[in-house]
Amino acid sequence: MTKTTEMRRCIGSKTFGIEPHEAPTSDFPAQLSQKDGLGRMCKPHWRQYTNALRKAALARKAAQADAPPAEPEPAADPEARAPRRATATTKRERRRTPMAHLPTATEEVGQTIRDVLAE
């Protein structure tokens, strides 16, 4: 009796030139978040893919470091910009509708309640 090895498709990566192919399921890493518990790429191609991602990121960082920093464009008219507030706006100032006036003194509160009940 021959033992057949279950095959699975490695998806590959067009970006990094990794061709899709069939591989035994034993070549796939465990990926518990997937329905079947296996990764989408075989182990050798997964290593090749992550290595290529790392090298691409390093190349991008090096290209950004070599590029001269972009100079900010000066404003045409310095007075044209809106003046900055010295203090932050309060929550009440940010509201669309102002809060109703609330009396602060105890006697004002008592008087207001009596007026409402008398009506």
12 and 44 in contact (C-beta within 8 Å)?
Answer: no
Q: Which domain holds residue 14?
A: 7-61
- Whose CA is closest to 9, among 46, 43, 40, 47? 40
Residue 92 located in a structural domain: no
The per-residue pLDDT for range 35-94, each reduced to its tens digit, is 989 999 999 999 999 999 999 999 999 988 887 666 666 656 656 666 666 666 777 777
Q: What is the pLDDT of residues 5-42, one digit of tens each?
A: 789 999 999 999 999 999 999 999 998 888 989 999 99
Tally of domains within the chain: 1
Residue 58 structure tokens? 């390093």
Position 23 in a domain:
yes
Answer whether 0.85 is exceeded by the pTM. Answer: no
Residue type, 75: A
pLDDT of 101 strictly over 90: no
Tokens at residue 102, please?
A: 């609330």
Give CA angle at 94 (89, 96), nearest 5°.
160
